[in-house]
């Protein structure tokens, strides 16, 4: 099997794991359960659970202890999108070609479905405490999961991003947003994979460092693609970030420097990962694909 086929197979497997943890749509509170499942099943590359599972495997992790955390990280990612789309936030009615949660179920149910997804993420992760092996590692994994999703992680980045809307951004603030809003959940995914496989703290720190670089490179590549893809299609660099007068890595550093930085940051991430005492060729290829992707 080539990389693409392996990727597809693994994505299908993750899809099944996530589905197994979704709530059954029954009871008087059924509407919110439907809204939650609608949001989770609206698509997505399942990148975070995949990074978690692959890091887990790289450190020799086996068995189902990782499953509730894989579902949990995707539920957290999903809730963040549901709340981002709300009228009082980005006011988006469509995402990935489908109506957003609030656009289907109403604004009040959009808020409640997001709350429910976030709470259910931790409820799902807490199921790990009933599985073998939990006693040693699940507490630490939960500390990472909660911290990286919160005010010192994803929410922190989101707050600074919301407050920056319509204003010029300096590089420090932009990198803060990238590190927290995008990077934190990627760090969380890979760190939890390492922790649950029993990796020692210094190795977990190395994984965190690599994941931070992966997140940053991924986000800068996003900014680059936003310019180059429209250049290709339209012959001129009119792009969504530009229309919103949004500061991006490219508007600060220029296209060529941004490309050079992605190259350098991703090489550093690869070196960090390759310096670990164990390896996972698929994980390296996956990260390579994320960073050098053309769309």
254 burial level (CB within 10 Å; 0-12, 13-18, 19+): exposed
Using rule CB under 8 A, residue 114 touches a second copy: yes
Q: Which of 23, 44, 193, 215 binds a second copy (CB under 8 A)?
A: 23
Using rule CB under 8 A, residue 20 touches a second copy: no
Q: Say which DSSP state 98 is in.
A: E
- Rounded to 10 degrees, the C-alpha dihedral 245/249/252/254 comes to -110
Q: Which of 7, 41, 104, 109 binds a second copy (CB under 8 A)?
A: 109
User: Going by C-beta distance under 8 Å and a sequence separation of 6 or more, which residues neighbour residue 100?
Assistant: 82, 85, 92, 93, 94, 110
CB of 293 to a second copy, least distance (A): 29
Return d(Cα 176, Cα 178) in angstroms, integer: 6
Using rule CB under 8 A, residue 127 touches a second copy: yes
DSSP 117-153: HHHHHHHHHHGGGGSTTHHHHHHHHHHHHHHHHSTTT
Complex with a second copy: residue 10 or 140, whichever CB lies closer:
140
Q: Which stretch binds a second copy (CB under 8 A): 126-134, 213-221, 231-239, 240-248?
A: 126-134
CB of 157 to a second copy, least distance (A): 8
**Helix (H, G, I), strand (E, B), or coil: what is residue 99?**
strand
Complex with a second copy: residue 121 or 269, whichever CB lies closer:
121
CB of 15 to a second copy, least distance (A): 21
Instruction: Spell out, one character per residue from 34 to 73, where the chain touches a second copy: x when CB under 8 A holds, - when not.
Output: --x-------------------------------------
Q: How far is CA 25 from CA 28, 30, 37, 102, in A?
A: 10, 5, 8, 18
In the complex, the residues that contact a second copy under the rule CB under 8 A are 23, 27-29, 31-33, 36, 79, 83, 86-89, 107-112, 114-116, 118-120, 122-123, 126-127, 129-130, 134-135, 138-140, 142-143, 146-147, 149-151, 155-160, 162-163, 173, 176, 180
């Amino acid at each position: 099997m080539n990389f693409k086929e392996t990727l597809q197979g693994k994505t299908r497997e993750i899809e099944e794991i996530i589905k197994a943890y979704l709530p059954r749509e029954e009871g008087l509170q059924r509407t919110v359960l439907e809204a939650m499942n609608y949001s989770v099943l609206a698509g997505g590359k399942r990148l975070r659970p995949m990074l978690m599972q692959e890091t887990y495997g790289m450190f020799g992790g086996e068995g189902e202890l990782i499953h509730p955390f894989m579902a949990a990280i995707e539920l957290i990612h999903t809730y963040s999108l549901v709340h981002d789309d709300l009228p009082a936030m980005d006011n988006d009615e469509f995402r990935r070609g489908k109506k957003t949660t609030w656009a289907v179920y109403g604004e009040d149910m959009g808020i409640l479905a997001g709350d429910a997804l976030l709470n259910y993420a931790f409820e799902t992760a807490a199921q790990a405490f009933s599985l073998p092996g939990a006693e040693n590692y699940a507490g630490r994994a939960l500390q990472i999961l909660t911290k990286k999703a919160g005010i010192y992680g994803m929410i922190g980045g989101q707050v600074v991003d919301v407050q920056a809307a319509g204003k010029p951004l300096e590089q420090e603030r932009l990198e803060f947003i990238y590190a927290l809003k995008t990077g934190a959940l990627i760090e969380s995914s890979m760190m939890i994979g390492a922790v649950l496989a029993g990796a020692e703290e210094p190795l977990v720190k190395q994984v965190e460092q690599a994941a931070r670089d992966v997140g940053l490179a991924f986000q800068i590549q996003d900014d680059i693609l936003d310019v180059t893809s429209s250049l290709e299609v339209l012959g001129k660099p009119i792009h969504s970030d530009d229309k919103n007068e949004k500061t991006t890595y490219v508007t600060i550093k220029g296209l060529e420097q941004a490309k050079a930085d992605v190259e350098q940051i991703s090489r550093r991430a690869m070196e960090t990962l390759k310096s670990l005492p164990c390896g996972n060729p698929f994980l390296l290829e996956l990260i390579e694909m994320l960073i050098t992707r053309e769309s």
